[in-house]
Amino acid sequence: MAKKENKKRCFVVGPIGKPDGEERIHSDWLLEGVILPVFAEHFRDFLVQRADKISKAGMINTQIIEELLDAELVIADITTLNPNCFYEIGIRHMVQKPIIHMHLAGQSIPFDIAPFRSIEFARIWPKDLERAKADLKTYIDEVLDPDYKVDNPVTVARGKVEFEKTATPAERAIQEELSELRNRVSALTSERNYWAHLDIKPSNMLRISREANSGRFYGGNITFEVRLVALRETSTRQLHALAEKYLPKYFEDYDLYRSSEADVGARVADTPRNRDAARLLENEAQSFEHPIHVVISPSP
């Protein structure tokens, strides 16, 4: 009798949902279109499992926790911000073992894990999956390196606790200076990225300057963002047509700041009417003639 091969394990965490539902379709795209092909080609010594694919007898919750505690690698899809997923991610963070975060393009990341890298992927064009597979392969190589140090909110918090126990007054002063410098760099980076989104050409520099001085951008009345993100079969042309059709219908004052193959972004005046309209658009968007996902977030 042939000896059973003892493979390392990769456990996939993410929204599963009902069969044929939007969450299941999304999860299957990620598992079958990205994750499994990467392991089949590059990491054949791994067995990849998702909770709904576990076939052995026993309580499913116990088996999930065992995988989170013991698997050599966990890949977590944080798209849809599913509470169960974040519970499972928290368990993995606590044991301080390798985990890779992934999310669908356009999804806002909760502030708790926003400082930690996450692979952003899309599934609109065939090249999107190829890019996602290449990124995932790079991340797996990194976390499986013997010199890799796990970095997540728990390790950071524990490191701070240990530092507080032993730090000298001089070391504490240095730490405070570094924290202040980090905050300043973060603020400068946010501002630079914001202006990078604008179409800065000589022909519109006067317009941008005039609008900035009148308060239409920083410090003015535009204080939240609305992004329209294409879902599945929605093409770039259809997405842009939807933006042109529905943004004026829902909002009384807005400025486009981003337009790409996968999404369209607008900065919207923070008025009671626009806040109500944003929530309405978020609820109605997937019933449009071409389904889209709406992301609403504060302006940086």
219: left (phi over 0), alpha (psi -120 to 50) or beta: left
- 93 shares its domain with 212: no
208 and 144 share one domain: no
Q: What is the pLDDT of residue 70?
A: 94
Q: pLDDT band for 107, please (50, 70, 90 cuts).
A: confident
Question: Would you place residue 35 in the very low, low, confident or very high pLDDT band (cuts 50, 70, 90)?
Answer: very high
Looking at the domain assignment, is residue 176 inside a domain?
no
Task: Answer yes or no: is 12 within a domain.
Answer: yes
pLDDT, the chain, mean: 77
Looking at the structure, do residues 39 and 115 belong to the same domain, yes or no?
A: yes
Question: Do both 151 and 237 map to the same domain?
Answer: no
Confidence class of residue 202 from pLDDT cuts 50, 70 and 90? very low
How crowded is residue 86: how many other Cβ atoms within 10 Å of its Cβ? 17
Are 66 and 132 part of one and the same domain?
yes
Q: Which of 98, 122, 155 is at the close of a domain?
A: 155
Digit-coded pLDDT (tens) for 203-218: 343 333 334 333 343 3
Q: Examine residue 121 and state whether it is found in any structural domain, yes or no.
A: yes
Do residues 36 and 149 share a domain? yes
What's the CATH code of the domain at 234? 3.30.70
* Residues 248-274, mean pLDDT to the nearest whole number: 83
Residues 247 and 137 in one domain: no
The domain total for the chain is: 2
Q: How confident is the model at residue 117 (pLDDT cuts 50, 70, 90)?
A: confident
Which residues lie below 8 Å from residue 154, measured CB to CB, with a gap of 6+? 93, 94, 96
* Beta bridge pairs of residue 263: 229
Residues 222 and 294 in one domain: yes
Distances (CA, A) of 18 to 26, 89, 280: 11, 21, 25
- Determine, yes or no, domain membership for 225: yes
- Of 133, 155, 177, which one is at a domain's C-terminal end? 155
Instruction: Kindly state whether residues 114 and 207 are assigned to the same domain.
Output: no
Q: Is residue 92 part of a domain?
A: yes
Residue 256 confidence class, pLDDT cut points 50, 70, 90: confident
Type of residue at 217: F
Per-residue confidence (pLDDT) for residue 170, from 0 to 100: 63
pLDDT in tens, 38-71: 999 999 999 999 988 775 655 557 889 999 999 9
Range(s) of the domain holding residue 13: 8-155
In a domain, 161, yes or no: no
Per-residue model confidence as pLDDT tens digits over 142-192:
999 999 988 777 776 666 556 566 667 666 665 566 556 555 544 444 444
- Identify the pLDDT of residue 100: 95
| Average pLDDT for 267-275 | 85
Does residue 122 form part of some domain? yes
Give the pLDDT band of residue 115 (cuts 50, 70, 90): low
Confidence of residue 220 (pLDDT cuts 50, 70, 90): very low
Same domain as 131, residue 25:
yes
208 part of a folded domain: yes
Query: pLDDT category, 219, cuts 50, 70, 90?
Result: very low
User: Which of 134, 155, 176 is the endpoint of a domain?
Assistant: 155
pLDDT of residue 51: 85
User: Any idea what the CATH number is for the domain that residue 106 is in?
Assistant: 3.40.50.450
Q: Do 53 and 111 belong to one domain? A: yes
* 18 and 133 inside one domain: yes
The pLDDT value given to residue 161 = 54
